[in-house]
């Protein structure tokens, strides 16, 4: 089995690229979606989050108060580090179990923090999705209903494309100039050849 990791900044188009891989029959583990589920379902993770952020971290129905936590972690890097230290190990372990349950030649793990969490070390190849800021900012503002400043805060809290390039085996340019489908197919063919 070939394990691919895919990453990129917020609004870069990772999910769109993943859907193209899924059309090729590649199962995708969406780490960010799983993290949200784990933060609600895993009792140890939940308790650790409450210890750091207080009871306001969760609504009375047990769902996580993402807006409250986001407001804190994007203003206080030390709190973001604590949250990552709680959530990343649980997600990495969950991803390993998921990968072991797959019966495919190639699997793909999508994670915004693939490199920061250390998950990239478990991958055979890392794909970076890059997109110009002038396309990313309005996309995230619309999708997440955030102000321009809130989007910029999130972008600034993430690794830059330049930093992530050092870890990437392949780069997909999501600038509307070159077809995403052609770029994905080219990478897929190259990876399959190495099998």
Structure token digits, residue 97: 């179990």
Residue holding tokens 């959530």? Answer: 87
pLDDT of residue 195: 63
pLDDT of residue 154: 81
Q: What's the 3-state SS for 12-57? A: CCHHHHHHHHHHCCCCEEEHHHHHHHHHHHCHHHHHHHHHHHCHHH
The answer to whether 40 touches 64, Cβ cutoff 8 Å, is yes
pLDDT per residue, tens digit, the chain (195 aa), is: 999 999 999 899 999 999 999 999 999 999 989 999 999 999 999 999 999 999 999 999 989 998 899 889 888 889 989 999 999 999 999 999 999 999 999 999 999 889 988 899 999 999 999 999 899 998 889 988 888 988 888 888 788 999 999 999 999 999 989 899 999 999 999 998 876
The answer to whether 101 touches 95, Cβ cutoff 8 Å, is no
H helices within the chain, ranges in order?
Answer: 14-23, 31-41, 43-53, 66-73, 77-100, 133-144, 148-157, 161-165, 180-194
Three-state SS for 110? strand
pLDDT of residue 67: 87
H helices within 101-132, ranges in order?
Answer: none
Q: pTM for this structure?
A: 0.89
pLDDT of residue 145: 86
């Amino acid at each position: 089995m070939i394990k691919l990791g895919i990453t990129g900044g917020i609004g870069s188009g990772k999910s769109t690229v993943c859907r193209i891989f899924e059309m090729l029959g590649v199962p995708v583990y969406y780490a960010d979606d799983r993290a949200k589920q784990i933060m609600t379902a895993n009792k140890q993770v939940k308790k650790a989050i409450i210890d750091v952020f207080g009871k306001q971290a969760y609504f009375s129905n047990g769902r996580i108060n993402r807006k409250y936590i986001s407001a804190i972690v994007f203003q206080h890097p030390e709190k973001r580090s604590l949250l990552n230290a709680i959530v990343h190990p649980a997600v990495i372990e969950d991803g390993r179990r998921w990968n072991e349950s797959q019966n495919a030649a190639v699997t793909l793990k999508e994670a915004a923090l693939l490199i920061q969490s250390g998950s990239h070390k478990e991958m055979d190849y890392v794909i970076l999705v890059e997109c110009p800021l002038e396309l990313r900012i309005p996309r995230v503002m619309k999708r997440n209903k955030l102000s321009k400043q809130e989007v910029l805060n999130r972008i600034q809290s993430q690794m830059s494309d330049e930093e992530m390039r050092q870890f990437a085996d392949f780069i997909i340019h999501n600038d509307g100039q070159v077809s995403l489908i052609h770029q994905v197919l080219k990478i897929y063919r190259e990876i399959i050849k190495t099998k």
